[in-house]
Structure 1
Amino acid sequence: MLFDTHMHLNARQYTDDREEVIARAFSAGVTHMLVVGFDRETIPLAIEIAEKYDNIYAAVGWHPVDAIDCTDEDLVWIEELTKHPKVVALGEMGLDYYWDKSPKDVQKEVFRKQIRLAKKLDMPIIIHNREATEDIVTILQEEDAKEVGGIMHCYSDSTAYMKDCLDMNFYIGLGGPVTFKNAKEPKQVAVEVPLDRLLIETDAPYLAPHPNRGKRNEPAYVKLVAEQIAELRGQSLADIAKATTENAFRVFRIKNI
């Protein structure tokens, strides 16, 4: 049992073969998946996919790159969608200082609003962070995000920051980069993160793991992530699969393991 805790089967890259991609994932032992919607286009499709498959769930939120497009009406809409039984988290949300579409102050405002919404709804949050770690940690602390916790998606920072995140009730999501030959920090994190706070993900169609780096990613490849983590930790694939799946059920509060 493998649980891909973050992917985007609602992306345009899967328009022509989405069902085949899902079938390959199930065949590879990926028994559960979370599809993340992050704007007006991808959120409805995330829920549609989750409705179609028993073991696929959805998260809804607003991506920081597009924060400038987020209105209060959008946040009301997202809140309404969280009533859906297959919606198990809010996100992805956070800060992205790599792209410059949305000013930093706008990103921070939308981020804070979504954290407050999560606390109101008592739902875990999924954090997107690109070149903004200090501000992310500060905002999570100021907004007391520990109350709901969640996932540091595609974690790529130091073990020191990882400890800050663990202290705030967050799980650490590792994806394709942990398989990259020169990715020292993700590999170190994979070794040091407590097993009961580790999650695996693909972020498909992005960040495909070795040996598929540079190609379109897909949920079936989460097995490559799990295999690499197992090797780094000196544990069996079965142990990593069992622990990370149980962790995913716990953070998303999904019953019937």
Structure 2
Amino acid sequence: MLPFDAHNHVHMGPSPPIQALLPSSATAEILPTCCCCLSGMAIMSTHPRDYQTVLSLAKDLPSQVASSSSSTSIVPCLGVHPWFLHELSLQDWQVDDNDNSSLPTWIQELEALLVANPHAMVGEIGLDGFHFDPTTQQLTSPMERQVEAFRLQLELAARLDRPVSIHTVQCFGPLFAVLSQFSSSNKKRKKKKQSLPPKLYFHAYGGKAATVEQILALCGREIGRVYFGFAPIINFRSPKTLNVIQKVGIERLVLETDHEDAARVPTSMEQGIEIIAAALEMGTQQVVDQTTANAMDLYNLN
């Protein structure tokens, strides 16, 4: 089984996205007969301007990979990232009084695309308390507006039964406030609470081990409900990461790179596999097999 990159932005980088799927020199030595170093990847939108590019890549990339041993799955993910939320226009936020849904235009357009592309997931969405405008020194998007957009996209994902990829940076207070407004179980839906999406993936997770427990308490503890990823370029500089990986456990882990530059994906995947294997005292192939199975479950690729 080959690894799966559960979160990247290769549509935004300088290298052709196909390079994310090609073996590096190291993987070429390990898998000399394989034309692809990944079983697939999930490409995350950040803004409506990305949507069609990501959808096109999901359609075109598999046919560009010549591998007789396995197929390649590309998962398109559509959503507005908190870093780019301020780039939505006033018109995007308008609500049509004649529309009973009372939803902003950008949410209605996102929903239409998701309905038209049932294989698409919701991402990257979330909250960020540390992304500032260099001129004003204020958050690029006010936290109140971030919370509103995050809640709307969670509700949309739940309504359409789609998994979500969630960005969380120095925002666990607002995050928990939003999650607590939802019911964690579709079977135990409370009258005044909408259910959360079926699966939630906390990408490049930077919280403490204790915070994992809080997330599971709010989102659901059953295996297959909540997943976590750790990006080498972001997480592995922190000494706490190995302890957090151990707390999460292999059953809830997926591999990710969070790269824009497709040429950097293969090497980062190798780093992620090695570090997780060391943290959990597992073989590297065991890590690949389980994290790929987890990603397949997360993105409904089984």
TM-score interval, normalised by the smaller of the two chains: 0.7 to 0.9
* Count of residues paired in the alignment: 242
Q: Please name the residue that 1:48 is paired with.
A: 56
Q: Please name the residue that 1:97 is paired with.
A: 129
Letter in 1 for 2:206: S
**What is the correspondence of 1:1-257 to structure 2 with a 5 Å cutoff?**
1-14=2-15, 17-24=16-23, 27=35, 29-54=37-62, 55-70=73-88, 71=92, 72-83=104-115, 84-87=117-120, 89-99=121-131, 100-144=139-183, 146-167=196-217, 168=219, 169-176=225-232, 177-180=234-237, 183-205=238-260, 217-255=264-302
| 3-state SS, counterpart of residue 41 of structure 1 | helix
* 1:9–1:46 CA contact under 8 A, matched in 2: no
| Identical residues among aligned pairs (%) | 23
Structure 1's unaligned 5+ residue stretches are: 209-215
Post-superposition Cα deviations, 1:3-54, rounded to whole Å, max 9, x if no partner, equal 100001110433xx33334334775632110000120222221111111133
Q: What's the offset of the Cα at 1:220?
A: 4.6
| 3-state SS, counterpart of residue 203 of structure 1 | coil
Post-superposition Cα deviations, 1:196-242, rounded to whole Å, max 9, x if no partner, equal 11111000037x9xxxxxxx742552121011100111100111111
| 3-state SS, counterpart of residue 11 of structure 2 | coil
Tell me the distance in 2 between the aligned counterparts of 1:231 and 1:150. 25
Query: Runs (4+) of structure 1 moved beyond 6 Å?
Result: none
Structure 2's unaligned 5+ residue stretches are: 25-33, 63-72, 93-103, 132-138, 184-194, 220-224
Tell me the distance in 1 between the aligned counterparts of 2:243 and 2:152. 33
RMSD value, Cα: 2.1
Tell me the distance in 2 between the aligned counterparts of 1:133 and 1:224. 27
Tell me the distance in 2 between the aligned counterparts of 1:96 and 1:20. 30
Tell me the distance in 2 between the aligned counterparts of 1:148 and 1:136. 17
Letter in 2 for 1:179: F
In terms of fraction of residues, the more helix-rich structure is 1
Letter in 1 for 2:213: K
* TM-score, normalization by structure 1: 0.86
Letter in 2 for 1:148: P
> Rg larger in 1 or in 2?
2
Indicate how the Cα distance of structure 1 residues 235 and 49 shifts in structure 2: closer, same or farther if over 3 A, else same: same
* 1:4–1:33 CA contact under 8 A, matched in 2: yes
Tell me the distance in 2 between the aligned counterparts of 1:28 and 1:114. 33
Indicate how the Cα distance of structure 1 residues 98 and 179 shifts in structure 2: closer, same or farther if over 3 A, else same: closer
* 1:93–1:127 CA contact under 8 A, matched in 2: yes
Letter in 2 for 1:236: G
Tell which deviates more after alignment, 195-204 or 36-45.
36-45
Tell me the distance in 1 between the aligned counterparts of 2:282 and 2:153. 37
Tell me the distance in 1 between the aligned counterparts of 2:84 and 2:214. 27
* 2:7–2:257 CA contact under 8 A, matched in 1: yes
| 3-state SS, counterpart of residue 95 of structure 1 | strand
